[in-house]
Amino acid sequence: MGWRPIAILLLLIAIQARAQLVATAADVPVRIFVPPPVQWDNAMLSFRPALQQTATDFANLTGGLAFGMAPARANASLTNPYPGLSWDDLPLANEYPGEVRYFGVPVDRAGLLRMNMTACAGTGSYLALLFSTKGLFRLSYRLIADKACPDTNEAAREIFSRYVQIGQSVADSNRYVTGKTQVVDVTDPTARILSPIRWHQVGN
Amino acid sequence: MRWAWLIPAFAALLCGAAVHAGPIEFDLHLNVPPVVADSQAPAGCTVTYLVADTANNDLFAARMRIASAETDTPTGNRMPCPANVPARVGVRALDTCQSREADPKYCVFADMSRGFESDTGIHNTSEIASRCSSDKFSDIGAACWMAGTKQVCDVACGASPAQATAQARLRCEGKQQHSCPITATVPVTSP
């Protein structure tokens, strides 16, 4: 007797603890976002985008929608355009300085702009197209959780992952949460003053 | 005297030319890729970093292609990567996240120290352990656990997606002393 049983007991406890750590749950795969690569010189002193991307790459992704389009033209490029839409009829987006107007499209009727999303998005989710006097400057996906879809994070990730592949000199994409809503904003990089402004959900 | 008016006229022309004779425009679009790519050419060096946005629990793969020196020779059809990568390359990798995040403090390297969940600063992450080089590895992986709402991760390199994931999981579970079931992997080099 003496120290031997204690040593064996401690050894058994250690083995049990290790076994618990090793016997982990199955992998839960998550997404890694992949922006376009950066090219460095050999001395790693300077860099530039490794890919030549243009507004055409963005238009290919959005089914023809491009920054700078007037509301009527942007509307015409949608899968389900609104009849007779004009600048004067659009509501003001009051979170922005100056005159910014918008219209919304339900995400489930957004055609190519759904970005082949497979995860659930709440039934009230929509895509806001925001216009300054210079034309379209932002696409804002607002994915609102509801009882049928209590978490829209995966849907936001799916949409974001598509836009992240476009360089920020062509389309500046970011995502955030406000209230119960996941937001993915895709902004014209030339709209500098309007770019940092974020939408805040009211009433959550 | 009849031709005297030509002197100021020539002077004006020469001045006009001088205006255009400045330094050559920097962006001559020389970086436009060739129309015909050599599919047999050895793959250039890419150093890929995994960067985390702790506000959204997002992971970004920041791929940094590094031009080869004329003296470099390929091994196994892969061009070598530099033995030392300066910190500025890591800073540029972080910018992949910071330029998309309202508060840059949420952007850190994805290989995190034990206890990161209670001190989420970048000093609690490792730049070197968050990157993989294409001359040695084909895949980079991350394994994470959820500390409440915060994802705590570690990174590893591998010769396949499965190996990168398994190595990352081993590293995470050894370092964090937690089960790390949340995993992700991408190729080091872009397709």
Measured in angstroms, the CA of A91 and the nearest CA of chain B are apart by 27
Closest of A97, A127, A113 to residue A191, by C-alpha: A97
ipTM of this predicted complex?
Answer: 0.85
pLDDT in tens, B95-104: 999 999 888 9
Tell me the one-letter amino acid at B66.
I
Q: What's the confidence (pLDDT) of residue B140?
A: 98
Residues in chain A: 204
Strands of B33-171, DSSP E: 45-53, 58-66, 107-109, 131-133, 139-147, 150-158
Reference B184, options B61, B92, B37; nearest CA is B61
Query: Does the beta-carbon distance from B62 to A35 stay under 8 Å?
Result: yes
Say what the pLDDT of residue A7 is: 65
In this prediction the pTM is 0.83
Judge contact between B132 and B89, C-beta under 8 A.
no
Residue A34 contacts B, CB cutoff 8 Å: yes
Residue A173 touches chain B, beta carbons under 8 Å? yes
d(CA B95, CA B112): 18
| Torsion sign (Cα): A160, A161, A163, A164 | positive
Is A187 in CB contact (< 8 Å) with chain B?
Answer: no
Q: How far apart are the CA of B141 and the nearest CA of chain A, in angstroms?
A: 9
Contacts of B55 in chain A (CB under 8 A): 176
HEC-encoded secondary structure of chain A: CCHHHHHHHHHHHHHHHHHHHHCCCCCEECCEECCCCEEECCCCCCEEECCCCCHHHHHHHHCCCCCCCCHHHHHHCCCCCCCCCCHHHCCECCCCCCCCEEEEEEHHHCHHHHCCCCCCCCCCCEEEEEEECCEEEEEEEEEECCCCCCCCHHHHHHHHHHHHCCCCCCCEEEEEEECCEEEEEEECCCCCCCCCCCCCCCCC
| Mean per-residue pLDDT over chain B, rounded | 86
How many Å apart are CA B119 and CA B97, to the nearest integer? 19
Distance CA A6, CA A81 (A): 77
Q: Work out whether the CA dihedral A83, A87, A88, A92 comes out positive or negative.
A: positive
Banded pLDDT at B22 (limits 50, 70, 90): very low
pLDDT of B71: 86
**Residue B37 confidence (pLDDT) above 70:** no
What residue in A sits closest to B44 (Cα-Cα)? Answer: A39
The whole-angstrom distance between B175's CA and the closest CA on chain A is: 12
Which of A21, A32, A47 is nearest residue B179 as measured by Cβ atoms? A21
B182: enclosing H helix or E strand = strand B182-187
The strand pairing partners of B43, in sequence order, are B78
Q: Do B92 and A42 touch (CB under 8 A)?
A: no
CA A116 vs CA A36, A110, B189: distances in Å: 20, 10, 25
Q: Which of A113, A126, A116 is nearest to A199 (CA)?
A: A126
CA distance linking residue A160 with residue A185, whole number of Å:
8
pLDDT tier, A120 (very low <50, low <70, confident <90, very high otherwise): very high
* Length of chain B as a residue count: 191
* Smallest Cα distance from A136 to chain B, Å: 20
- Domain boundary assignment for chain A: 54-187
What is the pLDDT confidence band of residue A174, given thresholds at 50, 70 and 90?
Answer: very high
Q: Decide if B181 and A173 are in contact by the 8 Å CB cutoff.
A: no
Question: What is the token pair recorded at B47?
Answer: 């150093």
